[in-house]
Amino acid sequence: MFNNDLMADVHFVVGPPGGTQRLPGHKYVLAVGSSVFHAMFYGELAEDKDEIRIPDVEPAAFLAMLKYIYCDEIDLAADTVLATLYAAKKYIVPHLARACVNFLETSLSAKNACVLLSQSCLFEEPDLTQRCWEVIDAQAELALKSEGFCDIDFQTLESILRRETLNAKEIVVFEAALNWAEVECQRQDLALSIENKRKVLGKALYLIRIPTMALDDFANGAAQSGVLTLNETNDIFLWYTAAKKPELQFVSKARKGLVPQRCHRFQSCAYRSNQWRYRGRCDSIQFAVDKRVFIAGFGLYGSSCGSAEYSAKIELKRQGVVLGQNLSKYFSDGSSNTFPVWFEYPVQIEPDTFYTASVILDGNELSYFGQEGMTEVQCGKVTVQFQCSSDSTNGTGVQGGQIPELIFYA
């Protein structure tokens, strides 16, 4: 009976003018599946219409809802799931709405988190809103640089700019706000000028914590953007340099950001005269978590023969696909401490899946190494499991070796 004219006693003209689709329906079936349809067809104010126009729902989303009502099948796609959620909310089909939210949570990333944040508030889905904030906080710079950031509404822009735990440099926040303002000018059919950018930003401009930028970022970026008035620019320069600081409209307190957690997998460390050596070989370990986290980097051991500098290529993979990598240097002071090496951006890690953490080190051949490794470590509210990796060609495994720490946001 689904999408079938046979015995249909109602038709829906779905979609905006110029993009409509005429779909058949059966009043009794629809009334059983939705209290809204029941009221529409059999309630006290029911109207006996053979054709019902629904201009605010996309045809594909309406069809997905009908398929669930008729066939108890959930058929969701990335490009229509938001529209389907809207339809499920409008016609009070709660199980389908929950499935849409689950689909969105599963596909949530820095690229779409800002748009989904805006939509989750509109649809009053607090769990999805919280998940969006987790991604935006931890991967703030990626989220702010995404195309989706420019598609958010002004209210969502303000909420992001106010965010105390936003884990981003303030110059990135400033540049993202200007990019949003440029697109907003186009949406409002305004000439693309500095004056109009400032106009559409309004008071949200003062939510950007410009005085907390590095001086170089301010001098070479914000100060030369043209968005600030001459008086604002002068006052902020005085804020950096003068003993008696002027009053500013901008927030002058730095964001707290996120505090990284460290999962240490060894109970002790040691060094011997004939190990641990680095000759271009790979140290690697596999791990899985029980909650979504964002890996920011690794803690690594350093030289056991006094201070030394290391070049480290770190990499994070899932089923052979590289999710993040970085080449950087770190200085070890000769102690058995671990030294952080960071990815350019935190990498999102999904629960209950094994990932491979790898490092290739170049530097002093003799270094500390871990001993008495644990297969499972409880780190705050996150449980981390470890297992050996076939990528490891330098001796690192669960019981001993390198990569003693995972540094992450949760």
pLDDT per residue as tens digits for the range 172-188: 999 999 999 999 999 99
Contact 9, 27 (CB under 8 A): yes
Residue 231 is assigned to a structural domain of this protein: yes
Q: How confident is the model at residue 148 (pLDDT cuts 50, 70, 90)?
A: very high
Within this chain, do residues 324 and 289 fall inside the same structural domain, yes or no? yes
Provide the residue range defining the domain that includes 197.
123-241
For the segment 75-129, what is each residue's pLDDT rounded down to a tens digit?
999 889 999 999 999 999 999 999 999 999 989 999 999 999 999 988 999 999 9
> Is 200 contained in some domain?
yes
151 and 265 share one domain = no
* pLDDT tens-digit series, residues 20-56: 999 999 999 999 999 999 999 999 888 888 899 999 9
- Based on the fold, state whether residues 101 and 129 are members of the same structural domain: no
Domain check: are 394 and 367 in the same one? Answer: yes
In this structure, are 277 and 378 located in the same domain? yes
Split into its structural domains, the chain has a count of 3
Do 380 and 277 share a domain, yes or no?
yes
CATH of the domain at 207: 1.25.40
User: Do 177 and 272 fall within a single domain?
Assistant: no
Considering the domain architecture, whether residues 266 and 168 belong to the same structural domain is answered as no
- CATH number of the domain enclosing 351: 2.60.120.820
User: Same domain, yes or no, for 36 and 82?
Assistant: yes
Closest CA to 163 of 204, 122, 127: 204
With 80 as the cut, is the pLDDT of residue 384 above it? yes
Task: Tell me the pLDDT of the chain averaged across its residues.
Answer: 94
290 shares a domain with 391: yes
Q: What is the pLDDT of residues 302-331, one digit of tens each?
A: 998 889 999 999 999 999 999 999 999 999
- Which residues face 323 on adjacent strands? none
What pTM was estimated for this model as a whole? 0.84
Residue with tokens 């999710």: 323
pLDDT value for 273: 62
Same domain for 210 and 159, yes or no, is yes
Predicted pLDDT at 275: 64
What local confidence, expressed as pLDDT, does residue 304 receive?
86
Is residue 93 located within the same domain as residue 133?
A: no
